[in-house]
Amino acid sequence: MSKFVADVLVSTEWLAANLQEPNIRIIDASYFVPGGVEKARQLYAEDHIPGAAFFDINAFADLSKPKEHAFPTAAIFADKAGKLGISNQDHVIAYDRLGGTCAAARAWFMFRAFGHDKVSVLDGGQTKWAGENRPLTKTVPDLVPRAFSVRELPGRLYGKAEVLANTTRRGFQILDARSAGRFAGTEPEPRVGLRSGHIPASRNLPFMALIDGPTKTWRDPAAIAKAFADAGIDLSKPLTTTCGSGVSACALALGAFLAGKADTAIYDGSWIEWGGDASLPIETGT
């Protein structure tokens, strides 16, 4: 195999040239709101990048918790990754159908949170790949289980109690990836039963602002850094991202990484947890 370079993004040209390398493991980590995993699985069955296994974010989860795709324990993640045929020597390429923002960035964040840095996101995802007339297939690869060991990195995940305490202590910045309307409380939530608004003292940066619309590729680091600054975020200070269910929060974490910040945390409960708990404070407006 060619020398590994731990680039956070890989191009479609790079993947096409390295598609047959023995230590490349490709995962389709698509997820949709609405539609969820089932819509993504149906599209995977219709076509996907050759060699790609389906990465089910609802299965890579702690099923003992009530929230959909709750962040997995280290043991769960090691078991699930190994069953996808991934070893610690492999370079994982995650993609989805929205440039990496839903939910390839979530897969990327998980691998890194459990100590596996050899993971990249396909820039432009399947949209760009297919638009370039690159090969697609219906064939599901035979997955040979492998041993996959993890080390859980501290400070990558925050819970409700820590976020609630932070609304007064202000020890870290909170950045919300949802749309401006959902953040302000002027648009309804796509999930039934959730209040409208946002976590007090949080800021808003809709995750698609980091993506070039026509190509579904990530903007350059300077433009991404400016988007964070325009949202009122200082990337030199601690940052935790949030969203609807913990998926697009990881897109902001990936964006921060591209802009030079490698230690962003996520609030995994996100608005499913916060907006669904009437005892927690909310704010509306911008």
Instruction: Enumerate the active-site residues.
Output: 243
Q: How many residues does the chain have?
A: 286
Starting at the edge strand found earlier in the chain, the sheet holding 157-158 runs 157-158, 265-267, 239-242, 173-176, 203-204
Phi–psi pair at 174, nearest 5 degrees: -120, 130
DSSP code of residue 210? G
Q: Rounded to an integer, what distance in angstroms lies between the CA atom of residue 3 and that of residue 23? A: 11
Cross-strand partners of 48: 137
Distances (CA, A) of 33 to 30, 39, 40: 11, 9, 10
Phi–psi pair at 94, nearest 5 degrees: -100, 135
Q: Rounded to an integer, what distance in angstroms lies between the CA atom of residue 61 and that of residue 76? A: 7
Q: Rounded to an integer, what distance in angstroms lies between the CA atom of residue 230 and that of residue 45? A: 40
